[in-house]
Amino acid sequence: MARAIPTTPRKSATQKRSQAMVETLLDATARVLTREGYDRASTNRIAATAGVSVGSLYQYFPNKEALVAALVARHNRQMLELLRDALKEVASFDLATAIGELVRAAVDAHLVDSALHRIFAEQVPRLGQLAKIDALQQETFLMVRAYLEERRAEISVPDLDSATAICVTAVEALTHEFVINRPEALDGDRDRFIGEVTRLIVGYLRPADGATPRVAAPRRRARTGGL
């Protein structure tokens, strides 16, 4: 049986200088991954890109896999924070407008460094990070579930747990497919994609309306992140 590759940092960065070093190394890892690809990335290349010695790198991370795992973890934290911000912003909106803004946030989040996102999608299973992805999905589920509970009077689907799972999975799958795997489909047509996914989700949540839900025109706001 193959020995598991360690993906835990050697030590926690508690001092500002150490934290800055870790961030520098993670930024360099992201640049090397997108430039060279996962298989060609190495600790030597990452250290050189960061402008530090490989010995300094090894003070914090035992190998390339630990660096990539830390980069995935940072990405997950950023995504969750962006989702929290988006949900706070739409808290007082009607359902159709809120869903439209959340779908827009999901697209915006996937468009940020989409090449790196693609590498994560390909390499996370190899790194044994699926448990962390599952934890991210569970936290996303809980936040969206809480929002839908606040809008219970506007939703016709009786089981909010199932409704939340379907909505989160559908938005993530569609956004991932179009942004990561079919980026040309969004060229010049981003708003139409957002509108169609919004109608899909709102139509599922409010099927008793008897008509195609009206999707409000997107509000212009600063890019905040994803669903």
| Lowest model confidence (mean pLDDT) among 50-54, 154-158, 159-163, 175-179 | 175-179
CA of 99: how far to CAs of 86, 104, 106, 147, 216, in Å? 10, 8, 10, 10, 10
pTM (two decimals): 0.71
Residue 7's φ and ψ, nearest 5 degrees, are -125, 20
- Domain limits of the chain? 16-62, 71-209
DSSP classification of residue 90: T
Q: What is the dotted CATH code of the domain comprising 16-62?
A: 1.10.10.60
Does the pLDDT of residue 74 top 50, yes or no?
yes
Compute how many other C-beta atoms are within 10 angstroms of the C-beta atom of residue 186. Answer: 18
pLDDT in tens, 83-113: 888 888 988 888 999 999 999 888 887 777 7
Q: What would the two tokens of residue 103 be?
A: 């779908």
Residue with tokens 């993670």: 26
Query: Class assignment of domain 71-209?
Result: mainly alpha
Q: Which of 125, 184, 137, 188 is nearest to 165 (CA)?
A: 137
